């Protein structure tokens, strides 16, 4: 694993969701020097307290630490939520010997409940004492319904890039999605890092969906410890690769998911229209349940494109699923085989290619199926 110079990681149990929950649920990333800070946040009008605070800190552009927790989103908690976030930032800052506004808060979990500040603050000295070289401990501390920690790294010349993320449900991005932290030791300006992150998320974090629900807490933070001079174009590619791989891991770990689905739309008027069509198919409950049941019901795909709001001629649409042509000129293909498609839909990975015209617009979206387990997980999330 390629760990950027200057960063350390830790995690402890603080009983964030409930005192009897014994897993690590509070994590810390610490940069030994001043780090350049960038980030993107949910565009949900209902924003969690850590998002409100985090946006202020990202605008300033520097940080020393990230203090994260799972089990409680600190969302829809009003002014008290902001106050609680700042209390924990203050406590971490004192222990680390940095300023409070150099600690960026992250939270994920149940909405509408105050953070257990007393239980959390008393564990911060142990959190600081535990700082070490293993980023996976931090990745595990922010997991909720995730089934595995998500950590991706790259070597870029003498520099390194690493990213951690959490997320398996409530994923329908419009900036980034879930919680993610990307770190590098490459020398970058604030403007460099902002440009790289904004460019990188459009076809990665903004091209995935599990269930069509955008979270109140979605945050992607990026930090550079500025210790290694490397070619910026190479660093941009390294960061983009890490972000892409994290995004795909989120889909592969979708709540209750049994299929990883790639949806390619081509022939649209522009990329924006192609994305609208692809997302419409990806978020269709009827499409997702058909994929789960290996039901060769291609009409659901064409219908989802039809109500996407994209202008196209239905008689020019062609659809292939995992290489098998199912629609030609808006109708069932002459070579369509229900048995063949049923067999293909049993595979773990499925690719849906949709051509809606001759325009230059293209976009690829990644999604999953919708299973019985998704309903079970989300019907019991708070209870």
Supply the DSSP string of 1-67, one letter for each residue.
Answer: --PPTTEEEEEE---SS-TT--S--EEEEEEEEEEEEEEEE---SS--HHHHHHHHHHHHTEEEEEE
Residue 107 CA to residue 20 CA, distance in Å, equals: 19
- Residue 164: helix, strand or coil by DSSP? strand
Which residues are paired to 268 by β-bridges?
361
Instruction: Give CA angle at 80 (76, 84), nearest 5°.
Output: 105
Order of all β-strands in the sheet with 359-368: 331-332, 324-328, 318-321, 349-355, 260-267, 359-368
Pairing of strands 349-355, 260-267: parallel
DSSP 259: -
Residues forming the active site:
177
**Strand ranges (E), the chain:** 7-12, 26-41, 62-72, 103-110, 150-156, 159-166, 179-186, 219-228, 260-267, 318-321, 324-328, 331-332, 349-355, 359-368
What length does the chain have?
383
Q: What are 22's two structure tokens?
A: 């014994």
CB 53 within 8 A of CB 91: no
CB 152 within 8 A of CB 175: no
């Amino acid at each position: 694993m390629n760990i950027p110079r200057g960063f350390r990681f830790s995690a402890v149990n603080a009983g964030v969701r409930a005192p009897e929950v014994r897993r690590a649920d509070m994590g810390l990333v610490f940069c030994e020097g001043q780090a350049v800070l960038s980030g993107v946040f949910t565009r949900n009008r209902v924003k969690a307290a850590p998002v409100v605070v985090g946006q202020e800190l990202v605008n300033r552009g520097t940080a020393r630490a990230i203090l994260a927790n799972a089990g409680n989103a600190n969302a829809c908690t009003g002014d008290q939520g902001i106050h609680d976030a700042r209390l924990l930032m203050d406590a971490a800052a004192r222990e680390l010997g940095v300023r409070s506004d150099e600690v960026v808060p992250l939270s994920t979990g149940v909405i509408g409940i105050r953070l257990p500040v007393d239980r959390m603050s008393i564990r911060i000295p142990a959190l600081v004492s535990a700082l070490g070289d293993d980023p996976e401990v931090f990745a595990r501390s922010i997991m909720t319904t995730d089934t595995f920690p998500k950590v991706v790294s790259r070597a870029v010349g003498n520099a390194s890039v690493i990213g951690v993320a959490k997320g398996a449900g409530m994923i329908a991005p419009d900036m980034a999605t879930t919680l993610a932290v990307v770190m590098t030791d490459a020398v970058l300006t604030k403007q460099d890092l902002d440009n790289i992150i904004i460019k990188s998320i459009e076809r990665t974090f903004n091209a995935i969906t599990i269930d069509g629900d955008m979270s109140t807490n979605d945050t992607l933070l990026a930090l550079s410890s500025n210790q290694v001079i490397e070619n910026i174009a190479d660093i941009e590619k390294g960061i983009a690769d890490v972000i892409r791989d994290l995004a795909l891991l989120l889909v592969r770990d979708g709540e209750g998911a049994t299929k990883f689905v790639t949806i390619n739309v081509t022939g649209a008027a522009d990329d924006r229209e192609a994305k609208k069509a692809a997302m419409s198919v990806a978020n269709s409950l009827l499409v997702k349940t058909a994929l789960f049941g290996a039901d060769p019901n291609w009409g659901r795909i064409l219908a989802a494109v039809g109500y996407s709001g994209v202008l196209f001629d239905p008689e020019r649409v062609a659809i292939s699923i995992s290489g098998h042509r199912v629609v030609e000129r808006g109708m069932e293909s002459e070579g369509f085989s229900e048995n063949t498609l049923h067999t293909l839909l049993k595979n773990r990975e499925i690719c849906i290619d949709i051509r809606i015209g001759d325009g230059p617009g293209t976009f690829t979206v990644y999604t999953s199926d919708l299973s019985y387990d998704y309903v079970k997980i989300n019907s019991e999330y708070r209870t």
